[in-house]
A and B are shown apart, each in its own frame.
Chain A
Amino acid sequence: MRHSRSLTVRTLLTWLVLALSQVAYAQRSYVEDNNLVVPRIDVEGYGALELTFRIGYDGQYLFWLLRADQTSEAIANSGVFNPQDLTIAIDEIELPTGELYSATLQLLSQDPFITFVVIEAEQLNPGQVDPGTDTSAGAEAYASQCASCHGVDGSGGSLPIPVNSGLSRVDLVDIIETTMPLGNPDNCDAQCAADIADYILLELSDGSGGGSSGGESLFSCTAPSNDPGPTALARLTPLQYKNTVRELFGPGVNLDQALPGGLSDQEVGKALADASQFDVEGYRAAAAELAEYVEARVDDYAPCADSGSGAAARQCATQFLESLGTKIYRSPLAASDVDALLTLFDVGYDSGGYARGMALLIEAMMQAPRFIYRPEIGNSLLADETAVPLTDYELASRLSFMFWNQGPDDELLALAEEGRLNLDSVLAEQVLRLSNDPRAQESFLDFFDIWFGLTGLEWVEKDPNVFPAWDDIVSGAMREQADGFFSDILFGPNGSLNALFTTPLDGYAPTALDDWYADASTPRDGLLTLPALLSVHSKPEESFPIYRGLFVREQLFCHQLPPPPDDIGDPPPPTAGMTNRDRYAQHTLDPGCQSCHAQIDPLGFAFENFDATGRFHEFEFLGGVTVTLEAEDCEFSNAHDPTPSDDASGGIYIDFEAGGKLSCEYDGAAGPHDISFTFKRPGGVTRSMGVFVNDSKVGVLSASSNEFVTVTFSNVELEAENNLIEIRDTEGTRQLDIDKLEIGVGSDFPAPLVDASGELTGTDVDGSFTGLADLSVMLGESETVRACATRQWFRHVMQRYEVPEDDCSLKDINDAFRQSGDKFESLRSAIVNTPAFRFRRVFSSDEEAP
């Protein structure tokens, strides 16, 4: 273990030396694979360095130090530095718990810039938790730092991740200390982690050791409750506004220009945002446009023709208010409502006659809060101390907005008027009727689009240099494909949560995406492989594992991760030839990043076979890059001190002695490379020098003038790392003015296979995976993912996030979902039967405004 571990670290070190230009301070140690690691210690400008670390638990440790620079060889007060594997062995020592230790590195010179020091401790015998341990400190720490997410009893809470997943004390301490609280692990040091671990193991553990949460424990509904959760005043989303206008006035109206444009339909809770000035002006403009539209064709809308008589016109207006007016307000108008509106009608009638009067009614009602908002007062006669049932009209609205994203139609309003809509049988019939209408399809597709973040597909742009095939036709085809697939999942006979993740997409391949399907062997099953999804969760120029991993974590598992720190360190610059996995490796090394990114990045890497437009790649995309080796990557031997060239080229002038060598190290990827040298011979004398790669001669450098020339050697086989590229002067009589040494990777370079493997942690379906095929299967089997689907559905319909009081409603929905075989259609009737849907909380309208 020690050996392989060292190798891994050494690989990381190699690129970190190149990648990190500066690291500000020594960071907290963390434990990984039972190794204690103190990463990132900046010793620039220091003559000595003290490392301080804590040991969190009993045990014997074996220490060694790893250094990033390869030049310095001596360490004071410690074992012997081994330059081969960059380790410093320290004798085996015994360490009691909770003490502070330090190691001192004495640098011999100021020159080496150590960017990275790793101290590893291998635990030789794991410590055990003592049953007599005092857990009061742990209890306190747990309550203040853990309970809000994991629940007071450790059962999961809002995350929902139970705290005890059967881990050993050692592992538990490790995880807490290095990752908790998520995003801010500095808030809980080794002692705190040990205290909390003891508390969890002794007080919270049920002894089963199993934390994998079954459906039962995902929602802590302990006693039946009719608490419907909070009810806030919803405002129509732009889509609901548009659809409702269509229901009221027919498909001929186009209000796109007049509608408020400041709101998108995307986010949960958005319908609850306060109206802005711009919105309200938009409502006014849209209402005015509608009024003009109705005025021009009043006979289509008014219940009777203009008779020319004022009294008759008023009578007509009254009828109009009872019919279309009821539909606009989604509830009947009171006599006082009619009176107020008739006064308005008179104003219009006086200035422009019958049609103008009607138009003014439209203009006013379409701006009224009863239309813009969805007030839910409830039937106070039937209230208990907690909840009050919605009125039939309010229920009609909820159903209609849920299924059709619009106000209720005539049938729903008629049932409400009869007072029958709240009957279970009638409600069930209506759920079926509404479900089977094409409008339901639109509204449920909307649910998936919002859940999966696809509402922005039409706005996605790709870098034309990287993805020249991307255009509106392609994104339109992706939309069409997604809609077709989603429709079958939502409404088809085999549609289920599991099918969402595992159904082959071969049957959903629009012509415009032929190229995406050119390789028949491409595994393309389920949601995660959908080109639309892959394109949205990417950057314009490249795939972006972070967003994809976050999508799985936050949208599919409903895990809520905290934000990144305020001032992140400098990221590693992209070095040509690095895979995404290499580039983001710092995320999972740096303790400040690691706690969250360890949960995100591995999931993102599972997507790495698919590029930013969702096309499949078997090999890493490294094509066409050129690496320029810098002077510091090279060593000179048997040469006078190299000096800068006597021109502005930035090159280096070398005067060799006998046996002189320029040796450059290169780590990249195995395979054939183009290696080119740009150089000149000072004085322009024709002489040649041998070029050797890993001790094999590949050719000679020869120049006949004082001008720079570039000589390229093609298809030189390189190893994955530790390649030695040398220019040798056997006679020691030559000078070389070398400007560039470039290692090119040709476009046909067989780049390494994509590594899409990883480990899923912190869920009920933990395990290792390779690529999306494995991950999709795991998601399809996860209880947490099912519960998350339930939550997402609830959020979508209720237009708010769930609160603890909703747990019983959620549990009911989740149970129905599971019992149906995870059929999405079961969600529709399930939510309709919950207290959250049928009731609102009681309130007194006399209370003071906050």
Chain B
Amino acid sequence: MNNSPQRMEAAQARIRQAADSLTTPITRRSVLKGLGLGALTLAAPIWRPLQAQTVDPNQRFFAIFHPNGTVKDDFFPDSGAAVTSSRILAPLANFEDRLLLLKGVHMDSMIGSDKPGGPHMKGPGAVLTGGWLSEGSFSGAGGPAGYANNISVDQVLANHMSTDTAFKSLEYGVAMRGQEPLKYVSYRGANKPNPAVDDPWKMYDRIFSNFTLDSSEPEVNAQLDLERQSVLDYVKDELDVLNRRLPAQDRPRLDAHLTHIRSIEQQLQTVPRQQCEVPILGDEVSLRDADNYPLITRLQLDIMFQAQACGLTRVSSLMFCNADSWQTFPWLGIDEEHHGLSHNLDSGSIQKLVDINVWYSEQLAYFLDLLDSVPEANGLSMLDNSLVLCCNEIGQGKNHTHEDIPWLLAGSAAGRLRPGGQMLEYGDEPHNNLMLTLLHAFGMNDESSFGAPEHCTGPLSGLLA
């Protein structure tokens, strides 16, 4: 338990050291696996996007999910008070004027006895989709249910914004356990969940392994490019041939597979921005040991930050555990599991819930600090160019309420949001309205509805600049 902070320190030190020593410019080279690191110079992107709607290339989107609800009294400040005057949000005081807190925005779309799934299942299926879970066979926290019935807002934004990046979006997790579909907030479409990968070393390989320092063998690179493309062409042809032999019902599965192959091609054909620093992770540690949770958190936040700083994507999401999480927090002296605590009413349990959420606020502060440290081409910091949306599967754990989801917005999406430093109190708005407002913040002004239309009455007033 005690060495986690030290490990974290060590990892941070390694990251700083690596950043200092990375002065060698490198070029892209496709490799099969690698432990790449370094700053990268640009080659001309091969693949060029066709863009229908206006995209501000400086804008970025992050969604951060927390489980099991918050403690309302300690999360929401008094009306008119500073956002960070509440106990839970206090660690974010340095970012007071960059934060917007929403109250009175309810997750209506998850509600209804005709909608499958228990409350902890319904929440993650609805929170970014504005929809609900389909019928399905997953039991668990109150099942049965399937996956969400709608595309999530991050994926709509990814389709819109990440047309020229290596990854359309990247989904991170920390300690993802539990049954389907508790583990997903990001959906490419109905029944198409994006897994949140909770292994930073896997995420690292996935994101950065195609880059190394070696640029000395252009002929080798050309040959590798040809091999690689030949293999992918073969796989694409095979998908096409098989697709024509299968019943119609199976074809969407192979079509989805084909889309992913094309995304791989896009990854291979785009390159990171120059001066991209790649984090160094250090030795792998056990993903299941609760003591490692802080370290994994830091590494995932670092990778999520760097992948965007490197221009590899413009849309990311991170799940702090699956919904209904049973995570323990031994480094905070909390050995009870989170979900159980969230149903307790005694002051000791509530203090522990506050402690957990304060810790999460500290992690957010760390992440916002990273974003704020990067000045970008339009003169704003990376934080100002970003919109970081913090969300939860429910409002409070003890009664599974869908009301007053603890929405917290950081950054301004390159000036599209109103100035921060306040809590916006709404009467009773469905969260689809928030999602729709987000689309508008990212230039999708033609959109008039999001998610289930019966739960969308129009954009939230007063949220945009």
**A and B: real partners?**
yes
B336 and chain A: residue at smallest CB distance: A541
Contact of A571 with B by CB under 8 A = yes
Contact of A845 with B by CB under 8 A = yes
Contact mask B217-250 → A, CB, 8 Å, 1/0?
0000001101100110011011100101111111
Contact of B418 with A by CB under 8 A = no
Task: Give the residues in chain A near B252, CB-CB below 8 Å.
Answer: 274, 849-850
Count chain B CB atoms within 10 A of each CB in A263, A347, A369, A801 and give the residue with the most. A369
Assuming the contacts A377-B246, A465-B335, A566-B119, asked whether A367 and B231 have C-beta atoms less than 8 A apart, the reply is yes
Contact mask B389-430 → A, CB, 8 Å, 1/0?
000000000111110000000000000000000000000000
Task: Give the residues in chain B near A492, CB-CB below 8 Å.
Answer: none
The stretch of B11-19, B135-143, B357-365 that contacts the partner chain:
B135-143
B402 and chain A: residue at smallest CB distance: A566
Contact of A570 with B by CB under 8 A = yes
B137 touches A269 (CB 8 A): yes
Which among B110, B194, B199, B255 is the interface contact of A566 at CB below 8 angstroms? Answer: B110
B253 touches A274 (CB 8 A): yes
Which among B248, B253, B290, B330 is the interface contact of A847 at CB below 8 angstroms? Answer: B248
Assuming the contacts A274-B256, A573-B346, A848-B248, asked whether A267 and B119 have C-beta atoms less than 8 A apart, the reply is no
Interface size class of A (residues with CB under 8 A): 35 or more
Which among A284, A456, A540, A565 is the interface contact of B336 at CB below 8 angstroms? Answer: A540
* Distance to closest chain B CB from A189 (angstroms): 16
A336 and chain B: residue at smallest CB distance: B241
Contact of A119 with B by CB under 8 A = no
B138 touches A267 (CB 8 A): yes
* Distance to closest chain B CB from A28 (angstroms): 15
Contact of B117 with A by CB under 8 A = yes
With A and B bound together, what is the CA distance between A407 and B298 in angstroms? 40
Contact of B326 with A by CB under 8 A = yes
A233 touches B139 (CB 8 A): no
Assuming the contacts A281-B264, A363-B231, asked whether A268 and B137 have C-beta atoms less than 8 A apart, the reply is yes
B234 touches A340 (CB 8 A): yes
Contact of B206 with A by CB under 8 A = yes
The stretch of B337-345, B432-440, B450-458 that contacts the partner chain:
B337-345
B144 and chain A: residue at smallest CB distance: A560
List residues 293-312 of chain B with CB under 8 A from any CB of chain A: none
Number of inter-chain CB pairs below 8 Å: 213
With A and B bound together, what is the CA distance between A292 and B122 in angstroms? 44
Contact of A49 with B by CB under 8 A = no
Assuming the contacts A21-B345, A266-B179, asked whether A280 and B137 have C-beta atoms less than 8 A apart, the reply is no
Contact of B180 with A by CB under 8 A = yes
* Distance to closest chain A CB from B345 (angstroms): 4
Task: Give the residues in chain A near B234, CB-CB below 8 Å.
Answer: 340-341, 344, 364, 368
The count of residues in chain B whose C-beta lies closer than 8 Å to any C-beta of chain A is 84
Contact mask A276-316 → B, CB, 8 Å, 1/0?
11111100110011011000000000000000000000000
Contact mask B314-348 → A, CB, 8 Å, 1/0?
00000000000010101000011100100111100
B195 touches A262 (CB 8 A): yes
Contact of A275 with B by CB under 8 A = yes
Which among B180, B260, B345 is the interface contact of A277 at CB below 8 angstroms? Answer: B260
Assuming the contacts A183-B113, A340-B237, asked whether A347 and B121 have C-beta atoms less than 8 A apart, the reply is no
* Distance to closest chain A CB from B445 (angstroms): 28
Task: Give the residues in chain A near B235, CB-CB below 8 Å.
Answer: 364, 367-369
Contact of B380 with A by CB under 8 A = no
B247 touches A843 (CB 8 A): yes
B263 touches A277 (CB 8 A): yes
Task: Give the residues in chain B near A360, CB-CB below 8 Å.
Answer: 227, 230-231
Task: Give the residues in chain A near B92, CB-CB below 8 Å.
Answer: none
Contact of B118 with A by CB under 8 A = yes
B107 and chain A: residue at smallest CB distance: A566
A567 touches B400 (CB 8 A): yes
A564 touches B197 (CB 8 A): no
A344 touches B248 (CB 8 A): no
Contact of B48 with A by CB under 8 A = no
13 example contacts (A-B, Cβ-Cβ < 8 A) are as follows A233-B246, A261-B202, A274-B191, A275-B257, A278-B194, A280-B264, A341-B234, A370-B242, A461-B328, A463-B336, A464-B335, A564-B118, A566-B402
Query: A276-B195, A563-B145, A568-B400 given. 4 additional CB < 8 A pairs?
Result: A269-B137, A351-B226, A465-B335, A843-B248
